[in-house]
Amino acid sequence: MKRLAVLTSGGDAPGMNAAIRAVVRMGVARGFKVFGVRRGYTGLIAGEFVPLGPRDVGGIMERGGTMLGTTRCAEFKSEVGQNEALRQLRSYDIARLVVIGGNGSQAGSHALSCKGLGVVGVASTIDNDLVGSDATIGAATAIDVALESVDRLRVTASSLGRVFLVEVMGRECGYLATLIGIASGAEVIVTPEVPAEPEEIAMDIHAAYERGKSHAITIVAEGAKYNAEALAQYFQAHQARLGFDLRVCRLGHVQRGGAPGVADRMLATRLGAAAVEHFDAGHDGVLLGIIDGKVTGTPLAEVIHRKRLLDTSLLELARALAQ
């Protein structure tokens, strides 16, 4: 019987479980014996394989995170780690691997693919910064979770007439910050792609008050030149001159923890099923994502050497709408 394995790697993302479910059930339907790998590449090196059937993945689609667990594995970046992972796969007679994860995870996919393993990547990261997909698993839910928090903070900001600096995740990509900022009506959005100095941000906040607003929300991407902590320190040091009171809220990992919404469940299901279909058709060495509404495979070599760019026209839209 044909065999394949599936693992989740890197940061967890809402929808990973739906992708696992789709890989397992489509795999069984196409005549594969499917194994799950616990703890990502760490478990791959350690040989932590578990057989999975349709009933083993029942009731997981609505759960956030990943039933298989995930890690960031420094050992896998070495030749020794990669060769041991291949040895473990061969010991189970597994020649195909589905890797559900983001940039670092797909770099691992590429390394294994270059060594002759059949690998298909599935685009999954809340940061939505992968080349090869217009949307990645987890991003939509992370935005919804953050948006609810910002809406709640605005109630307090309005009541007290304060400035709130809200830091959101996204690493070096401002996608989350931009969409959360637009959807929440934030007065200021700060991203890594468009660096802003503290004085510029202070001027934008003052301009909001001058337009008659009673409060201001500033959404700050964690990877910005000045993150929320750095901005808070600057504003505190110059509070007498700047003349406004502010509070800082770092949403952090709470963004990862939501139950996946319909968009992420559907995206994960389509990509997980497509991974098995690619193997069944004799194709591998690609990252699967959605481009223009269609499941598309992008060679892993192209994915790992490029970064998906933020559409900065969205920031121009946000500035216009904040008036």
Q: Annotated catalytic residue: which of 12, 127, 129, 284?
A: 127
Q: 3-state secondary structure string, the chain?
A: CEEEEEEECCCCCCCHHHHHHHHHHHHHHCCEEEEEECCHHHHHHHCCEEEECHHHHCCCCCCCCCCCCCCCCCHHHCHHHHHHHHHHHHHCCCCEEEEEECHHHHHHHHHHHHCCCEEEEEEECCCCCCCCCCCCECHHHHHHHHHHHHHHHHHHHHHHCCEEEEEECCCCCCHHHHHHHHHHCCCEEECCCCCCCHHHHHHHHHHHHHCCCCCEEEEEECCCCCCHHHHHHHHHHCHHHHCCCEEEEECHHHHHCCCCCHHHHHHHHHHHHHHHHHHHCCCCCEEEEEECCEEEEEEHHHHHCCCCCCCCHHHHHHHHHCC
What tokens were used for 182? 């637009």
Q: How far is CA 191 from CA 68, 182, 222, 248, 267, in A?
A: 33, 13, 8, 16, 26
292 is catalytic: no
Residue partners of 240: CB distance under 8 A and separation at least 6: none
- Residue of 206, 231, 217 whose CA lies nearest to 158: 217
Query: Rounded to whole angstroms, how far apart are CA atoms 147 and 125?
Result: 18
* Helix 16-29 × helix 262-280 angle, to 10°: 30
Active site residues: 127
